[in-house]
Every structure is written in structure tokens, then in C-alpha cells.
Amino acid sequence: MKTFFERLRERRLASVFTLLATLSIAIIGGSFAAHGVHGQDKNNSSADATPLKVVESPVPPNQFVKIAKEVGPAVVNINTMTLPKQANNQKRDFHQFQAPNNPNGGQGDDGQGQNGLQDFFNRFFGGQMPDQGGDDGGQVRESLGSGMIVDPKGYIVTNNHVIEKADKIYVKLSTDPDNSDPGRPARVIGVDKATDLAVIKIDTDKPLPTVQFGNSEKVQVGDWVEAIGSPFALAHTVTAGIISAKNRTIEPGASGQFQHFLQTDAAINPGNSGGPLLDMNGNVIGVNTAIYTQSAGNQGIGFAMPSNTVVQVYNDLIGPEHKVVRGSIGIQFRPGLSSAVNRVYGFKNGVLVQDVQPGGPADSAGLKPGDIITTVDGRSIKDGDDLVNDIAGRKPGSTIRLGYLRNGKQMDTTVTIGDRDKVFANLNNPQQSSGPQSGNDEGESKLGIVVHEASPAITAKIHEQGMEITSVRSGSFADLQGLVPGLVITRINRQPVATKAEYDAIVSKLKSGDDVVFEVRDPRHPETGINYLGGTL
């Protein structure tokens, strides 16, 4: 016989099951009621269903469509092959901007480069696909890029880094069959490393479609643009965006002096290099060259060489010499000087000469390190870029009138323009030297450096007396200005420091808030001339 508690438990369980069943029926019933679901009726016919149809859109094709159809046939796919070389075990990467050979970044008529470009092409690259053959151990390497036909006879503009060091170059037109054939063989007409541009040519028995060039100077930030190329081997890919900035220099120093890019957010990826960036009239306003990336893919920042530069370079490369000739006066300077330098040397606009190439045009005209170039043919010079653009565009053999300041006095001279390549042919021939690096000085606590008088051997190398830096305290004023052991300070705030006594006398008068500018030379690389380093103490 069941106890009272057992019967009570059975009644409670029965109540719970009854409640759950009731709730389930209510939920299912509500669902049917809400959605009208009745289960599949096998006898129900779908004869009343209307078949779907594709309708013609009344919207006319947009401008991007028209441009792609008109310009697409003139955009080509470029494949290159690099044959194995017994003594060459270096891998080719994507687009690599070369750092200046000169460790101090000295450069002619255009400023100075900078160190610390490690991993640069991890951020900036273009055109070439990764090596298809793995490592370089005796295997053929392949790469990919784009180009554009600019002459119906088969002349094509692309990037130099697309075809550089290639043993074989092949071009595929939009009308060529997409098969195992690598394409039509091409030959190099000329290259210009300074702008990363190249001209190649294919043979053709009939006129080819060409692109037209627009005026990149008229382009405005915010203008719509369209890019066509072969990213990741996907031929004739079209992307669109806007011009997001102008006059971008993405590599400092000598390597970037003639590279002032248009910036765009149109998707550009490896393989796009050498392809056109087009305005809404279908005209080429740039040659796609590089992207900023942290993932080896597009991140919305691409760079294109402006069309006005492309036209100038192309016209030189198809000339008799197949090279770009740029004017030079044979000077070196450092761009981006601190405001302290300007205040100490008494100028706002102009170019402070760091070094004068021996036997060069400026040397022959009497210019010296420390002179400040202020005008060219009466026109005021804003900065180093302004000077470079003016001088580089002039023909060797022509003359200009330079206005400059020397010790605060206005002077002028006539300079004959030289060929930049010839003027600086021997600039990057570094020389090594060593000297004593010991001694103490009273500037250690104030400036953070220890110096001693430069040895006769070092003085002979730099042709000037000064104080050699033996140590620099990390985080000190000198450290922040870029001073390093081995450099020789020849002047502080324009006053010579040929002896320890002169150095101590000048340093002892410096106080917090003073502008301090060091004139320094590197005896290991005397060809770089004077460096002007300084800031506010």
C-alpha cells in the first residue's frame, strides 16, 4: 500500500506533465496561427505561381563602364622571367624603393636622404607577384605587372620595378588568347629609376589601341578616378575611388626626390603596377606604382606617378640617348631643417648649402657650404623641392642667376647648369677611417656628449678642425638632434670650435631656451660635406 507521501509525489508529477503538454500545444498552435503553416499539401498545385524574368534596366551605363570599355583594350598584362644566375642568390621582392647608398643621405641639388628604411617595402610595394619558383636555387623566377599602350606602333609605359633585372619580358593584349602562351616578346627602350618608369616595345603588324594623357596638375582631391590592371594575375580588373591627396613623397631623401605621387583609395594590389589611373574623361592622370599596406593587400592608400611627369620622362626615354637628362648645379643640402637652424642662420625661405661638389657648376661659380640660396633668376626659392624642380628641368649648358646669402650679406652669381648624372658620378664612394674616441668635455651635462679635438688624420679628411664626438648620452639634447659618435663638430651657432677651449667657451654660455645648431662632418664619409643639426635647448 502506497504511503501518503508517495501518492502526493505522483499527483505532482502528473500535474507537471499535464502543464508541459498544455504549453507545448499552445505554442505550436500559436505558431500555426501566426504563420499560417499547415503542412505540405501533396494535392495542392503551383499552377498559380508566376515564373521569374530578367528585365532590361532603364538605367544607362555609368561613366565607369564607358571608361572601362574605351580604355581597357589599351591596358596590357606584363609577364617577366628572370633566369637563374649562378652568383645571384638574392630574392626579388615586390616593389622595393632603394635607400640611398650614402649613409648620411647626402644628395645633389635636392636634399638628403635618411637612414632607417628597414622594412620599407613591407609597407610600400607594387607590381610583382611573388616568385613562382620558390627560392632562387637554380629556378626561373616569374613576376607580373601591368602597362599601357601609348603609341599604336607598340610602345608601352610601365613601372621600372616591373621589368627591372628581367631576362625576358612578355606582353599580353586584351585580345590575345588566354592560354599557356606567355605573350608577345618585348624589349626595353629606356628606364628612369628616379621616377620608377620604363618604356618597352612590342612588334605589331597593325596599329594598336592607345591611352590618352590628361593634365595631372588639374586634378583635385576628391575627384573620381578609375584604375585598370592585373592584380594577382586577374587581367583587366577595374577598380574605382577618389584622389585622396596630392604631391605625396613616400620615400625620403635621394630615392624619393622626383617621386611626388597622387594618392588614391582606388583598390591597387600587386600586379596593378604600371597600369593607368584614369579621370572621368578616360584620360590617364597617373601610373599606378605603389600601395601602403600592412597585410600585403590593398588598404585604401595607393600611389600613382602623375601623368605630367610620365609624359616628360617618356619623351626623354624615346629620344636618341634613351635616358632622362636632369640639370644640376652640384650642391648638397638637408631638407626639413628645424626652425632653430632658420633662426640662427637668419632665413625663412631658401636652401642652406651643406656641401659643394668639387669642380661642379656651383663650385666654379664660387658657392660655398653655409651659403643660403634664396632666388633663381630673380624668383624666390621656397625650399629644396622648389630648387630641385627648377634646376632639374633645365638643360645642361644653360645658365641661371643665383641669389644667395653669405654671412647675412646678399650676393649673386651666374651658374652654368650641368648634367646631374655626370656632376654626381663619384658622389657615393664612401671612405672608411678611424680615429681616437676618448676624452671628456664639460658639455656632457648640458648637451649629453663627450668630445675631444679631432686628430690630424681626421682633420685632413674633412679639411677642417673640430671636436670629435666620442660618446652620446641616450635621450640627451645631442641624441635628439641626431649626433652620434664619430662625427666631428666644426661649429656651434656659426662659431668655430677648432679647439677644446673654443668649444668649452661656447658651450658654457648656452642656456635653456637657446637655439643650438651644430655644423658637423663625418670623417668616414667626407664627401657628404656639412650637416646642420640643431634644435632648442
pLDDT tens-digit profile of 141-166?
677 889 999 999 999 999 999 998 88
Catalytic, out of 143, 146, 216, 273: 273
Instruction: Tell whether the model's pLDDT for residue 411 goes beyond 50.
Output: yes
62-324, which class in CATH? mainly beta
Whether 184 and 147 have beta carbons less than 8 Å apart is answered as no
DSSP state of 355: E
Identify the top-confidence range among 67-71, 287-291, 293-297.
Answer: 67-71
Whether 148 and 274 have beta carbons less than 8 Å apart is answered as yes
For residues 370 and 403, what is the distance between their CA atoms, to the nearest angstrom? 14
Q: Where exactly are the structural domains of the chain?
A: 62-324, 327-423, 444-536
140 or 237, which is more confident? 237
CA distances from residue 105 to 244, 321, 522, 534 in whole angstroms, order as listed: 29, 29, 12, 17
Catalytic, out of 196, 265, 355, 371: 196
Domains 327-423 and 444-536 share a fold: yes
178 or 456, which is more confident? 456
pLDDT digits (tens, 9 = 90+) for 184-242: 999 999 999 889 999 999 999 999 999 999 999 999 999 999 999 887 777 788 999 99
Whether 352 and 341 have beta carbons less than 8 Å apart is answered as yes
Catalytic, out of 109, 143, 161, 452: 161
Mean pLDDT across 370-387: 90
For residues 389 and 456, what is the distance between their CA atoms, to the nearest angstrom? 40
Task: Give the lowest-confidence range in 42-46, 104-108, 119-123.
Answer: 119-123
Average pLDDT, the chain: 78
For residues 74 and 81, what is the distance between their CA atoms, to the nearest angstrom? 23
Whether 213 and 251 have beta carbons less than 8 Å apart is answered as no
Assign 5 to helix, strand or coil: helix
Active site residue 196: yes
Exposure on the CB side of residue 420, measured as CA atoms within 13 A: 22
Instruction: Tell whether the model's pLDDT for residue 265 goes beyond 80.
Output: yes
By C-alpha distance, which of 488, 491, 498 is closest to 517?
A: 491
Beta bridge partners of 401: 414
- Number of continuous H segments (helices) and E segments (strands) in the chain: 12, 29
pLDDT at 6: 56
Task: Give the lowest-confidence range in 3-12, 380-389, 427-436.
Answer: 427-436
| 231 Rama sector, left if φ>0, alpha if ψ -120 to 50, beta otherwise | beta
110 or 292, which is more confident? 292
Q: What sign has the CA pseudo-torsion 145, 149, 154, 156?
A: negative
Beta bridge partners of 451: 469
pLDDT digits (tens, 9 = 90+) for 336-363: 778 888 888 888 888 999 888 888 999 9
Active site residue 41: no
Active site residue 161: yes
Instruction: Tell whether the model's pLDDT for residue 140 goes beyond 80.
Output: no
Q: Which residues contact 506 (CB under 8 A, 6 or more apart)?
A: 492, 493, 495, 497
By C-alpha distance, which of 313, 298, 233, 232 is closest to 264?
A: 298
By C-alpha distance, which of 251, 424, 250, 429 is closest to 327?
A: 424
Q: Which residues contact 196 (CB under 8 A, 6 or more apart)?
A: 95, 159, 160, 161, 259, 289, 305
- The two most distant CA atoms of the chain are separated, in Å, by 129
Assign 428 to helix, strand or coil: coil
Kindly state the cell numbers that stand for 294.
600592412
What superfamily does domain 327-423 belong to in CATH? PDZ domain (2.30.42.10)
CATH architecture entry for 444-536: Roll (2.30)
Whether 336 and 367 have beta carbons less than 8 Å apart is answered as no
Mean pLDDT across 253-260: 72
pTM, to two decimals: 0.63
Whether 368 and 352 have beta carbons less than 8 Å apart is answered as no
Instruction: Tell whether the model's pLDDT for residue 90 goes beyond 70.
Output: no
> Residue type at 45?
S
Q: Which residues contact 47 (CB under 8 A, 6 or more apart)?
A: none
For residues 177 and 170, what is the distance between their CA atoms, to the nearest angstrom? 14
